[in-house]
């Protein structure tokens, strides 16, 4: 069980879509990358690109005459504006596209049998463009919602193991550049199984949600709290030395003792490692903290054990006993 817990975060990261190597998710990764790049462009540039697309399509439509249809290409500026600017921008490009198409329809083709027909055709095209724009907006919202759900623990509402792994990789890369320390903490609840056995899983879920809130309230805005497993939580504290981490962890222990222990009779075993140099990867970092956490549980639970890496053997210190 310990191995599964220690490697769980690394497995979540390995399961993510990869790019540039032909690995799983390559196409999705490339599209996502280009999407982020487009969204990062200045608003004025995105608007200009949308208008340029419309001008280009209109120019080609005018140059080719009435025999060659360009109807589907008018969706390009509409789709682009709706996807990378906003629904309102997409609607505006829909109106401009319909008007451009209608104008060229009247000026470059034969006369219609009735004066109202060009207006009718333009209105139908506008309706079609607006429908496409609405579908793009729905798709964009669904994608954003799905992305948020994929990065959030469904029970507690905090980050999940996938986000923990991604953030840890980013912090490790930052440490390699600036040499600043960071701390990884691994928290496991003592006697949590008894809560489920005696009071039911619904009460156990309520306890986990409460623990998540207490931990999140006790850390800085720059720290990350994630649920890594059943009753296991991880904390990433960038730019944090051992003494600073101890203050935060003791604050968490005190909050749990004050708000949780009396009602549910559980405590927390914590293993925390401060890295003064970048570890090999997140798997190595989690294993270090995980081993300390299991040592804390083996020594009776309800305590915090800390270490600094790299350090000579025997450098582990007991920071507190959670009010024992």
Active site residues: 231
Name the DSSP letter for residue 111: P
Element (H, E) at 137: helix 117-150
What is the distance between the alpha carbons of residues 245 and 175, in angstroms, rounded to a whole number? 17
Going from the C-alpha of 125 to that of each of 47, 51, 94, 117, 176, the distances in angstroms are 22, 18, 9, 12, 56
For residue 310, whether the previous peptide bond is cis, meaning omega lies within 30 degrees of 0, is yes
Name the residue with tokens 């490692």. Answer: 273
* First-to-last C-alpha distance (Å) of the chain: 28
The first and second tokens of residue 94, run together, are 């829909």
The first and second tokens of residue 302, run together, are 């309800």
* Among candidate residues 232, 236, 252, 235, the one with its CA nearest the CA of residue 188: 232
Question: How many Cβ atoms are within 10 Å of 145's Cβ, its own excluded?
Answer: 10
What is the distance between the alpha carbons of residues 271 and 245, in angstroms, rounded to a whole number? 11
């Amino acid at each position: 069980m310990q191995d599964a817990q220690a490697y769980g975060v690394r497995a979540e990261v390995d399961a993510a879509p990869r790019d540039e190597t032909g690995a799983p998710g390559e196409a999705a990764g490339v599209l996502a990358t280009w999407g982020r790049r487009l969204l990062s462009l200045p608003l004025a540039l995105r608007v200009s690109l949308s208008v340029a697309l419309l001008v280009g399509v209109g120019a080609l439509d005018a140059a080719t005459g009435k025999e060659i249809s360009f109807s589907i290409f008018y969706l390009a500026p509409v789709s682009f504006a709706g996807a990378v600017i906003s629904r309102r921008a997409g609607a505006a490009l829909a109106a401009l596209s319909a008007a451009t198409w209608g104008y060229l329809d009247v000026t470059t083709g034969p006369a219609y049998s009735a004066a109202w027909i060009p207006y009718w055709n333009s209105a139908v095209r506008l309706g079609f463009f607006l429908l496409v724009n609405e579908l793009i907006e729905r798709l964009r919202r669904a994608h954003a919602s799905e992305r948020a759900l994929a990065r959030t623990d469904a029970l507690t509402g905090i980050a999940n193991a996938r986000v923990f792994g991604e953030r840890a990789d980013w912090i490790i890369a930052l440490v390699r550049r600036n040499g600043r320390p960071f701390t990884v903490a691994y928290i496991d609840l003592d006697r949590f199984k008894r809560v489920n056995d005696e009071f039911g899983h619904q009460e156990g879920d309520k306890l986990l949600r409460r623990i998540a809130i207490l931990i999140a309230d006790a850390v800085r805005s720059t720290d990350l709290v994630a649920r890594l497993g059943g009753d296991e939580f991880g904390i990433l504290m960038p730019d944090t030395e051992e003494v600073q981490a101890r203050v935060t962890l003791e604050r968490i222990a005190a909050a749990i003792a004050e708000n949780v222990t009396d009602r549910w009779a559980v405590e927390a075993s914590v293993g925390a490692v401060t890295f003064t140099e970048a570890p090999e990867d997140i798997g190595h970092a989690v294993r270090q903290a995980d081993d300390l956490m299991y040592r804390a549980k083996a020594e009776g639970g309800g305590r915090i054990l800390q270490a600094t890496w790299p350090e000579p053997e025997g450098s582990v210190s007991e920071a507190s006993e959670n009010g024992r």
